[in-house]
Amino acid sequence: MKKIKVAFADAWAGFEKPIIEILQKRYQVEISDNPDFLIYSFAGKSYKKYKNCVKIFFSYENILPNFNECDYALGLHDMSFGKRYKRIAYEVTSKDTSASNIPSNTLTLEDLQGRRFCNFVYSNSTLGKGSAFRMELCKRLMEYKHVDCPGRVLNNMSISDAGLARPKQGHWNWEKQKVDLLKQYKFTIAIENQFSENGYWTEKIMHPFISKSIPIYSGSSTVGEVFNTKAFINCHDYDNDIDKIIKRIIEIDTNDDLYLEMVNAKPVLPDSYLWTLQEDVEGFLFDIFEKGVQPFEKRIVVRRNIFKKVIRRMKRILKGK
């Protein structure tokens, strides 16, 4: 097996594990302080200290790559940048949120007995317009019925009662716990932190689908081009008008036949969906490593005020001052 020297930086705990597993299918991976390849994310600036290596940016957040700093990038946005960018997708490439986890069973009226109305599980109240929108939606919806909020935001339910308590020891699989929680609810408020038009969506829409809880979704305005709009409430269809959205929620909540039709709508993703995304991502990475250490030439960005200072200094030098 060919040996490759790799480093990981500026990311969350466990970030490197699935990437290493992919690379080990073809390479002997050596973690090095002097790497030939750096794979980094958005949680810091230490990537800047690495020189003379190929830099690969990787993000599951709504952050666009800067190709003046990285050679290649993988992200959730539906965009193109020649052969230097590859879209990843929560609905395929993330093990815990894969669409393959969406159950095929059909819910009945009996299955709905004992289900609570709606949940709102969030820890962030300030990042992006979506965070303010979902709080307002939740507050307004509670004028109709109680919404359980076990997260930090609008908290009205203890973490232990929600079954989301972090264990004292061992790995905390928060996604599994959240999915188990959502199974108790008819609806889930599933609003991204930010609104976008570039195909960016996250586990927020996948968790309720996997839980057979109808997502009340807003975020990517193009979500309806991929997911079956008969299977969820797409707030963009109502221009993100809270009055219209709540009217639709009440309509579905008070009509069991309509609710069952929506929660059982199939397929959530069309049969024509590109299920090879996982293999495409692996192929994209393998191509990078097969090319060897060949960083792209980067454009040097000079701040305008610094540039002006340099011009003034050159003029003084030419004048002999």
3-state secondary structure of 316: helix
Q: What pLDDT, on a 0 to 100 scale, did the predictor assign at position 48?
A: 95
Task: Grade residue 311 by pLDDT with cuts at 50, 70 and 90.
Answer: low
Calpha distance 106→214 (Å, rounded): 13
> 213 and 148 in contact (C-beta within 8 Å)?
no
Q: Which residue has the higher pLDDT, 166 or 255?
A: 255
Task: Grade residue 254 by pLDDT with cuts at 50, 70 and 90.
Answer: very high
Q: DSSP string of 136-169?
A: HHHHHHTTTS-EE--SSTT--S-HHHHT-PPPSS
Taking the CA atoms of the chain, what radius of gyration do you get in angstroms? 24
CA atoms lying within 13 Å on the CB side of residue 238: 18
3-state secondary structure of 71: coil
> 309 and 57 in contact (C-beta within 8 Å)?
no
- pTM of structure: 0.77
Could you tell me the domains of the chain? 2-89+276-318 (3.40.50.11650), 103-263 (3.40.50.11660)
Mean pLDDT of 245-268: 96
Closest alpha carbon to 247 in 112, 168, 144: 144
Mean pLDDT of 153-162: 85
| Segment of 73-77, 90-94, 160-164, 205-209 carrying the highest mean pLDDT | 205-209
- The structure tokens listed for 25 are 């299918």
Mean pLDDT of 301-307: 56
Q: What pLDDT, on a 0 to 100 scale, did the predictor assign at position 107?
A: 94
Q: DSSP string of 236-301?
A: GGGTT-HHHHHHHHHHHHT-HHHHHHHHT-S-SS-TTS-TTHHHHHHHHHHHHHHH-S-PPPPPPP
Q: Which residue has the higher pLDDT, 280 or 95?
A: 280
Q: What pLDDT, on a 0 to 100 scale, did the predictor assign at position 215?
A: 98
Residue 166: Cβ within 10 Å count: 9
Sign of the torsion angle spanned by Cα atoms 234, 239, 242, 248: negative
3-state secondary structure of 105: coil
Q: Which residue has the higher pLDDT, 62 or 190?
A: 190
Q: What pLDDT, on a 0 to 100 scale, did the predictor assign at position 90?
A: 63
Question: Is it the case that residue 124 has pLDDT exceeding 80?
Answer: yes
Task: Grade residue 15 by pLDDT with cuts at 50, 70 and 90.
Answer: confident
Question: Is it the case that residue 12 has pLDDT exceeding 60?
Answer: yes
Mean pLDDT of 77-88: 88
Query: For residue 250, which amino acid is it?
Result: I
Lowest mean pLDDT segment, chosen from 61-65, 82-86, 195-199, 276-280: 276-280
Question: Is it the case that residue 159 has pLDDT exceeding 80?
Answer: no
Lowest mean pLDDT segment, chosen from 118-122, 195-199, 211-215, 292-296: 195-199
> Mean pLDDT score of the chain, rounded to an integer?
87
Lowest mean pLDDT segment, chosen from 29-33, 126-130, 263-267: 126-130
Q: What pLDDT, on a 0 to 100 scale, did the predictor assign at position 104?
A: 86
Q: What pLDDT, on a 0 to 100 scale, did the predictor assign at position 277?
A: 62
Buried b or exposed e, range 253-284, using 16+ CB within 10 angstroms: beeeeebbebbeeeebbeeebeeebbebbbeb
Q: Which residue has the higher pLDDT, 89 or 137?
A: 137
